[in-house]
Amino acid sequence: MASRDAVVVGSGPNGLAAAWTLASAGLDVELVEGADTLGGGTRSAELTLPGVVHDVCSAAHPLAAAAPFFAPGGGPDGSGFDLAAHGVRLLQPEIPLAHALDGGRFALLHRRLADTAADLDDLAAGDGARYRRLMAPLVADAGTVVTALTSTMRSVPLRPDQLLTLATFGARVLQGVPRIARGFRGPAAGALLAGSAAHTAQPLQRMGAAGAGLLLNTLAHAVGWPVVEGGSQRIADAVVADLRRMGATVRTGEWVDDLRQLPSARITMLDLSPAKLLGLGGDALPAGYRRALQRYRYGNGASTVHFVTDAPVPWGDPRAARAGTVHLGGPGAQIDAAEREVAAGRHSEDPFVLLVQPSVVDPTRAPAGLHPVWAYCHVPAGSDVDVTATITARIERYAPGFRDTVVASSCRSAARLSLDNPIHVGGDIAVGEASVRQTVLRPVPRWDPYATPLPGVFLCSSATPPGPGVHGMSGVHAARSALRRSSRRNGTL
């Protein structure tokens, strides 16, 4: 095989961002993907009926709308991939999020903070003002929050005047979701935060859950929770097209089980799990580093169900039909109970369900008259249980008649998700437990978490900071680390 400047293994958002960053620096890059389809967590496919496009893993994209790598204009330093400039349209639902409560009511998270506060006041007088006090400082300086939380977690590029916003965010995280929720009179405002926190698949009192909930709700107000016109695959396709334009080689259908399979290269970038790195590195990895990788904790699994309906979801509250994302979980205490069941290794009979209805803003996903609906719930890692009936019942509870609209469905169990995309160990789509400690120190406690002890080999997956989400920043940071080290070792490439 011909020698390359850089080889990237894995084409998830971070692998693509790493490859693009290296190619933009003038390196000769080869990208190798084991699956037949590029994109990893941003893949889309016809999983049910011909012509109906489903997002396989990620469906709503607040981080793609906010992260520096995908920023309009290419990011503040001009080194990012401008999605819009490459033909990728992020479509904004009128309402980012609707959260189902008991009694047929829904709490709505609007783009405008004032609209959200007004709705909360209708449900419990005074909660609108309380929600404003919680969120307004973060929304007003959302750029600081995003910059900090998409950084390397080692060096945070903030000015002194931005530290107050970061301190405010940290103080709210330390309170935790249950304590914040107790500050509201009614259940709605706390449920909006609890549902977003539950994306981390862990009990809600943990600080990692609070951090995710606050970040996601801040982004809902600041940049929305958009879907990609035509499917999330469009993100991967656009980056790959630009890689090819820059002369990169792209290969699919080639699983890497030994680093010796790869062309010789100064830089080898792995968009893989720590478990896979252990397998590839073997005895060549120092014993201490191996032990640290073995201690890496994976989270609970997710099982997805992809529905096709012949009518929009018949929500009991018609306003939910205008939301791109719908959380089905009831008050925060119910969500927490469901997540605790899963954390204890049991399937919840009444799980928290996250649902995305892209046809609210994107009619291109299916032939006229059909609607793709994406939903998932958390399950114990490695579960092979088909959750179609459970999720259907959960939707039916808040959308009576939903069953009658379903014309096709396809379940991807946690076990199946990990087979389709091995980086999702046990169906953990976050590639690691989202505790605060592990988010900061993932995958091992090193100043440069991307560099491995193997010369020229770097980890660039969501198992490195800043962690999960379609933002590409783990790949960007890993590529920049590789460029710095290679430049010091060999001179400019």
Confidence (pLDDT) at 264: 92
Residue 349 one-letter amino acid: E
Arithmetic mean of pLDDT over the chain: 95
Distance in angstroms (rounded) separating the CA atoms of residues 22 and 6? 8
| Mean pLDDT along residues 439-444 | 92
The pLDDT tens digits of the residues spanning 347-393 come to 999 999 999 999 999 999 999 999 999 999 999 999 999 999 999 99
Distance in angstroms (rounded) separating the CA atoms of residues 55 and 356? 10
Residue 42 one-letter amino acid: T
Contact 63, 219 (CB under 8 A): yes
Structure confidence at residue 74 as a pLDDT band (50, 70, 90): low
The pLDDT tens digits of the residues spanning 273-297 come to 999 999 999 899 999 999 999 999 9
Full DSSP string of 182-240: HTSSSSHHHHHHHHHHGGG-S-TTSHHHHHHHHHHHHHHHHT---EETT-THHHHHHHH
Flag whether pLDDT at 160 surpasses 60: yes
Supply 304's token pair.
Answer: 């997805």
Q: Please tell me which residue, 143 or 71, carries the higher pLDDT value.
A: 143
Distance in angstroms (rounded) separating the CA atoms of residues 295 and 343? 18
Confidence (pLDDT) at 159: 86
Distance in angstroms (rounded) separating the CA atoms of residues 9 and 146? 27
The DSSP call for residue 36 is: S
Q: Count the helices and strands in the chain (H runs, E runs).
A: 18, 16
Flag whether pLDDT at 161 surpasses 90: no
| Mean pLDDT along residues 385-407 | 98
Contact 129, 113 (CB under 8 A): no
Structure confidence at residue 493 as a pLDDT band (50, 70, 90): very low
Confidence (pLDDT) at 2: 64
- Distance from chain centroid for Cα 124: 32
Flag whether pLDDT at 450 surpasses 70: yes
Full DSSP string of 344-381: TT---SS--EEEE-GGGT-GGGSSTT-EEEEEEEEE-T
Contact 81, 70 (CB under 8 A): yes
The pLDDT tens digits of the residues spanning 77-117 come to 667 899 999 999 999 999 999 999 988 899 999 999 999 99
Confidence (pLDDT) at 347: 97
Confidence (pLDDT) at 272: 98
Distance in angstroms (rounded) separating the CA atoms of residues 152 and 474? 8
The Cβ of residue 205 has, within 10 Å, a number of other Cβ atoms equal to 14
Residue 259 one-letter amino acid: L
Dihedral, 4, 13, 271, 215 alpha carbons, nearest 10: 140
The strand pair at 95-100 and 90-91 is best described as: unpaired
Residue entry with tokens 């440069």: 448
Percent of the chain with pLDDT over 90: 91
Residue entry with tokens 């007088």: 125
Q: Whose CA is closest to 460, among 21, 51, 159, 166?
A: 21
Q: Whose CA is closest to 141, among 169, 176, 119, 115?
A: 169
Q: Please tell me which residue, 77 or 232, carries the higher pLDDT value.
A: 232
Domains and CATH numbers, the chain: 4-43+228-296+433-490 (3.50.50.60)
Supply 431's token pair.
Answer: 């590639």
The pLDDT tens digits of the residues spanning 171-186 come to 999 999 999 999 999 9
